[in-house]
């Protein structure tokens, strides 16, 4: 087994579930030093604002950034457009269009109902006013991530979308990121990264406005900083390593499935790729395909590592067994490479995003189909949801009663308040009943 590219569990459901459950614990443990350092940086930003922000940026990212040039100018943006490839620009525009289309469908209206006696009840749904989006820089500069985080906020109607991203050594920002931000409707871009950028968004500095919510992926420092400021501001989920489960019957195409498993595995060495299939023949074929295809891929080492450590093929007796396994594990991405994928859709209880059929490979969803690629990981799809317009709105209830309506039910409110021993609550009602 040692040298195989991926392990194979043959018709042993318990063993399969045990293996999959163990994958849940593959998070990196956070070192004490990181927490201490993050708290120190956050305190610096809270106390000293821009001074601290510039100081940390100069030390950690670029000594070319100062208070005057920390905000990306219109000219820098125009320059970025000149630098990006035409083909990239076209692709990112189509992606933005599709993402906008899908997220527009998520918008909800405020609503109210009127009842007898002049009772009016309802809920105002409003966009958050200010949102901060963190975008990692350097090697992991992902324009797709800019679109996926900013467009739902823009569609929700957020007034002020502020992006922060660490500058390169020379003080510049990757032009692909800048162009994506512009297309996604970002209002302001700042050259700041790490815990210091999260602190600036949460507490505000002279340059960067305080926001209501911070979203976007980042390294361990960013994740810890987000966790720490939660409550001052809202945050999105802290994402764990990426994962895919493919469910396939004998109609599954080994070539495609192997490619899709590796598209997750290439993310990082902690990524997990799992195939659950009713076909032993397919299982063997996929293993061969993995070995064949991996050779030509640039991130081969990462892929082999992650497949060997966190990949598995499980052969099961029935499709139902495979679906039960998915529901138990609640994978971030779930591909249904089976004859009738839509028929199974109703049985999938827990999954972040579901890919139906042979021509909806997971990378299509990562970039271009329209649904969000920010998804719940590590089994949290049991209770968390993909990033959506809902994450950028807040609700307020409202209540109006006429005098008659209140007198009608007043006695019951008084009874409930008295039962709970809250006499001032009761008094607020009975004082209105007395003056009738």
Name the residue among 187, 193, 200, 145 with its Cα closest to residue 168: 193
Q: Which stretch binds a copy of itself (CB under 8 A): 72-80, 201-209, 317-325, 409-417?
A: 409-417
Query: According to the binding rule CB under 8 A, does residue 323 interact with a copy of itself?
Result: no
Query: According to the binding rule CB under 8 A, does residue 349 interact with a copy of itself?
Result: yes
Q: Which residues within the stretch 226-255 sit at the binding site for a copy of itself (CB under 8 A)?
A: 231, 233-234, 238, 255
Q: Which residues within the stretch 19-38 sit at the binding site for a copy of itself (CB under 8 A)?
A: none
Query: According to the binding rule CB under 8 A, does residue 339 interact with a copy of itself?
Result: no
196 in a known ligand binding site: yes
Three-class secondary structure of residue 245 per DSSP: strand
Helix axes 74-83, 175-184, angle to 10 degrees: 110
Candidates 56, 142, 203, 310; binder of a copy of itself (CB under 8 A) is 142
52 or 156: whose CB is closer to a copy of itself? 156
Name the residue among 205, 214, 216 with its Cα closest to residue 234: 214
Q: Which residues within the stretch 108-127 sit at the binding site for a copy of itself (CB under 8 A)?
A: 108, 111, 113, 119-121, 123-124, 126
Q: Does 400 participate in catalysis according to the annotation? A: no
Q: Tell me how far apart the alpha carbons of residues 350 and 326 are, in angstroms, rounded to a whole number.
A: 7
The DSSP result for 281-293, as a single string, is: HHHHHHHHHHHHH
Candidates 6, 52, 92, 164; binder of a copy of itself (CB under 8 A) is 92
190 or 392: whose CB is closer to a copy of itself? 392
Q: Which residues within the stretch 194-213 sit at the binding site for a copy of itself (CB under 8 A)?
A: 212-213
Q: Tell me how far apart the alpha carbons of residues 29 and 25 are, in angstroms, rounded to a whole number.
A: 10
> Cβ 330 to a copy of itself, closest distance in Å?
9
Q: Tell me how far apart the alpha carbons of residues 6 and 313 are, in angstroms, rounded to a whole number.
A: 7
Q: Are 323 and 317 in contact (CB under 8 A)?
A: no
Q: Which stretch binds a copy of itself (CB under 8 A): 28-36, 39-47, 195-203, 346-354?
A: 346-354
Structure tokens at 131: 């949102």
Pair type for strands 272-277 and 213-215: unpaired
Dihedral Cα 182, 183, 186, 187, nearest 10 deg: 60
Pair type for strands 353-356 and 333-337: parallel
> Which residue in 103, 154, 333, 373 is the catalytic one?
333
- Residue 117, strand partner residues: none
> Which residue in 243, 332, 335, 362 is the catalytic one?
332
> Cβ 58 to a copy of itself, closest distance in Å?
28
Structure tokens at 174: 């990757």
83 in a known ligand binding site: no
190 in a known ligand binding site: no
Q: Per-residue string for binding with a copy of itself, 264-303, x by CB under 8 A?
A: -xxx-------------------------x--xxxx---x
Q: Which residues within the stretch 40-69 sit at the binding site for a copy of itself (CB under 8 A)?
A: none
Structure tokens at 240: 């764990």
9 or 103: whose CB is closer to a copy of itself? 103
333 in a known ligand binding site: yes
**Count of Cβ atoms closer than 10 Å to residue 72 Cβ:** 22
373 in a known ligand binding site: no
Q: Tell me how far apart the alpha carbons of residues 242 and 188 are, in angstroms, rounded to a whole number.
A: 29
Q: Which residues within the stretch 375-394 sit at the binding site for a copy of itself (CB under 8 A)?
A: 375, 380-386, 388, 390, 393-394
Q: Does 103 participate in catalysis according to the annotation? A: no
Q: Tell me how far apart the alpha carbons of residues 178 and 172 are, in angstroms, rounded to a whole number.
A: 10
Q: Are 130 and 209 in contact (CB under 8 A)?
A: yes
Active site residue ranges: 332-333
**Binding site for substrate: what residues are annotated?**
242, 264, 267, 333, 366, 420, 425
């Amino acid at each position: 087994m040692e040298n195989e590219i991926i392990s194979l569990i043959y018709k042993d459901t318990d063993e399969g579930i045990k293996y999959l459950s163990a994958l849940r614990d593959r998070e990196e443990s956070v070192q004490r030093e990181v927490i201490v350092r993050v708290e120190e940086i956050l305190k610096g930003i809270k106390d000293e604002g821009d001074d601290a922000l510039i100081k940390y940026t100069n030390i950690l990212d670029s000594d070319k950034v100062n208070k005057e040039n920390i905000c990306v100018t219109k000219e820098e943006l125009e320059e970025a457009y000149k630098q990006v490839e035409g083909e990239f620009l076209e692709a990112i525009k189509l992606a933005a269009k599709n993402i906008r289309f899908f997220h527009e469908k998520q918008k909800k209206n405020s609503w109210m109902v009127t009842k007898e006696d002049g009772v009016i009840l309802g809920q105002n749904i409003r966009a958050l006013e200010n949102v901060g989006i963190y975008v990692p820089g350097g090697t992991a500069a992902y324009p797709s991530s800019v679109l996926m985080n900013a467009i739902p906020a823009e569609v929700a109607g957020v007034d002020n979308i502020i992006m922060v991203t660490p500058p390169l050594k020379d003080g510049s920002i990757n032009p692909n990121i800048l162009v994506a931000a512009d297309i996604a409707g970002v209002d302001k871009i700042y050259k700041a990264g790490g815990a210091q950028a999260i602190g600036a968004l949460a507490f505000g500095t002279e340059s960067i406005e305080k926001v209501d919510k911070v979203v976007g992926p980042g390294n361990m420092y960013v994740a810890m900083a987000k966790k720490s400021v939660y409550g001052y501001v809202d945050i999105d989920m802290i994402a764990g390593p990426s994962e895919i489960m493919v469910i396939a019957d004998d109609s599954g195409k080994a070539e495609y499935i192997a490619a899709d498993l590796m598209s997750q595995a290439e993310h990082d060495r902690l990524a997990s790729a799992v195939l659950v299939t009713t076909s032993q023949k397919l299982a063997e074929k996929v293993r061969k395909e993995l070995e064949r295809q991996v050779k030509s891929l640039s991130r081969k080492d990462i892929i082999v590592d992650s497949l060997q450590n966190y990949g598995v093929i499980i052969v099961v007796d029935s499709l139902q067994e495979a679906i039960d396994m998915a529901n138990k594990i609640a994978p971030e991405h779930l591909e249904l490479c089976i004859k009738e994928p839509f028929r199974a859709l109703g049985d999938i209880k827990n999954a972040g995003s579901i890919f139906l059929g042979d021509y909806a490979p997971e990378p299509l969803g990562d970039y271009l189909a329209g649904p969000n690629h920010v998804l719940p990981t590590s089994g949290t799809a049991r209770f968390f949801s993909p990033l959506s317009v809902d994450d950028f709105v807040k609700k307020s209830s409202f209540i109006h009663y006429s005098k008659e309506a209140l007198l009608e039910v007043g006695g019951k409110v008084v009874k409930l308040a008295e039962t709970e021993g809250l006499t001032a609550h009761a008094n607020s009602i009975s004082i209105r009943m007395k003056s009738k």
